[in-house]
Amino acid sequence: MKIVNARVLDLDADTSSGPVTIEVRDGVITSVGKTAGPAGPADLDAENAFVLPGLINAHEHLSLKGRLLDPDGEQYYDVYRAPAERQLMQCARSLLTSLGRGITTVRDAGAAWSVNLRIRDAVRDGMLPGPRIYTCGQVLSIPFEGEKVKVAGMTVDAAGVDGVTETVADLVKQGVDFIKLKGHRRDFADPNRNNYFSSEEIVTAGSEARRQGLKFALHAWHCHVVGPALDAGVVDSIEHGNPLHEQPELIDKMAASGVILVPNVVSWAPGPEARWSRYPHMAGIELERVWDTVTLAIAKGVTLAAGTDLHNDHLHTELQAYVRMGLPTTEALKTATINGAKLLGLDSELGSIESGKLADLAIFETDPRQDLSVLATPRTVVTRGVAHDAGQVRRLVGDGEP
Ligand SMILES: [Zn+2]
């Protein structure tokens, strides 16, 4: 198929092309060039709309939605406790929510019972439409003494160097796409209770992941878990990362070594006004640190990849936050395209519109560089050369979560 009259955004040059034709064969872009003739019946006329690479959500939990978005006492844990079948259905719904928002790749950062692996395979095998999924399955965690989140099964306990090594090997056997380790274990009901992996355990997890040819992601809310992973050179991304601004030398090291920061600002504090008020019962998370960390990371040139954690209809809000923290708009757009592709190690296939890359595209009525909020309402989303009416997908799912 051909997509004609497309105005392709070049984020490196900060320009948009005149109307061009994108030719696609077997789901792959075969050429991008001057428009030649009118569209045929099998072609798509972009009618001078703006075309971006399909968006990449670099940190998402497909299975964790619903009442989790308004965490309040026990209801918060009910979402985690939902049966696996229910969580799998939530994954299917999240696929459509993401597709309607122009998201063609999702990096899923953890789900109970590894339902994320099942939904990944279903999309890959053509059972369901939706973004391609790249997932860690379950998250390595230190054994947990409380009962609240333990029931979730989103994390898998690992203790000691041998325990960590065995757990990584088991996840690899399950077919995960990357390894994620949660540096600390916090009981949300008791923010003061923290347990941490040792430096040796963290470095072992990263080394084992690398040995298996997988990327290693470190979920970090504390500087002292980040330092050893950076020094050992075994980490590819820091998830969240607050409060790294307290040790700016760690941010310098990330910038120098190309370790990517996936902050998920929207999950905690989408605007400075929300710093204190959003989740009062989670005061221990110290929301203000998210903005301070990301602002400094931007100033020091750390590569960011945009993720929404729990809010998959708010990737545009995440990008808007980066701009408010000092990132130029075209750079913000890269955090949800080429930077996400680099994080996955798939930048030769995804993240820009070039001959030889997969035909994952999102088409917008107006130029997203002028107003990032248009990212929420693409006209058309193309996954591997298959075009979907994005407005129809959004109507199908409706607003909000059940
Ligand atoms: Zn997360």
Ligand 1 centroid – CA 152 distance (Å):
14
Ligand 1 centroid – CA 47 distance (Å):
38
Ligand 1 centroid – CA 75 distance (Å):
18
Ligand 1 centroid – CA 7 distance (Å):
34
* pLDDT for res 79: 72
Ligand 1 centroid – CA 262 distance (Å):
10
Ligand 1 centroid – CA 315 distance (Å):
14
* pLDDT for res 311: 82
Class of domain 2-53+352-397: mainly beta
Ligand 1 centroid – CA 397 distance (Å):
23
Ligand 1 centroid – CA 68 distance (Å):
12
Ligand 1 centroid – CA 280 distance (Å):
19
Nearest CA to 244 out of 260, 221, 267, 266 is that of 221
Ligand 1 centroid – CA 307 distance (Å):
9
Ligand 1 centroid – CA 356 distance (Å):
32
* pLDDT for res 31: 95
pTM for this prediction: 0.93
* pLDDT for res 278: 46
Ligand 1 centroid – CA 139 distance (Å):
10
Q: What sign does the dihedral 261-266-268-271 (CA atoms) show?
A: positive
Nearest CA to 24 out of 347, 382, 345 is that of 382
CA of residue 357 relative to chain centroid, distance? 20
Amino acid letter for position 89: M
Q: Which residues contact 61 (CB under 8 A, 6 or more apart)?
A: 108, 109, 110, 111, 154, 309, 310
Ligand 1 centroid – CA 30 distance (Å):
36
Tens of pLDDT along the chain (402 residues) come to: 999 999 999 999 999 998 999 999 999 999 999 866 677 888 999 999 999 999 999 999 999 876 655 555 566 667 777 888 999 999 999 999 999 999 999 999 999 889 999 999 999 999 999 999 999 999 998 876 655 555 457 888 898 999 999 999 999 999 999 999 998 776 555 555 567 899 999 999 999 999 999 999 999 988 889 999 999 999 999 999 988 999 999 999 999 999 999 999 887 655 444 443 444 444 334 456 788 899 999 999 999 999 998 888 889 989 998 999 999 999 999 999 999 999 999 999 999 999 999 999 999 999 999 999 999 999 999 999 999 999 999 999 987 666
CA–CA gap between residue 393 and residue 95 (Å, rounded): 10
Domain map of the chain by residue range? 2-53+352-397, 55-344
Ligand 1 centroid – CA 61 distance (Å):
6
Ligand 1 centroid – CA 180 distance (Å):
10
CA 67-70-73 angle, to 5 degrees, is: 85
Write down the architecture of domain 55-344 according to CATH: Alpha-Beta Barrel (3.20)
Q: Are 58 and 107 in contact, with CB atoms under 8 Å apart?
A: yes
Ligand 1 centroid – CA 336 distance (Å):
16
Ligand 1 centroid – CA 179 distance (Å):
13
Ligand 1 centroid – CA 60 distance (Å):
6
Ligand 1 centroid – CA 239 distance (Å):
8
Tokens of 337: 């395209």
Ligand 1 centroid – CA 330 distance (Å):
25
* pLDDT for res 66: 66
Ligand 1 centroid – CA 317 distance (Å):
17
Ligand 1 centroid – CA 64 distance (Å):
9
* pLDDT for res 195: 78
* pLDDT for res 284: 38
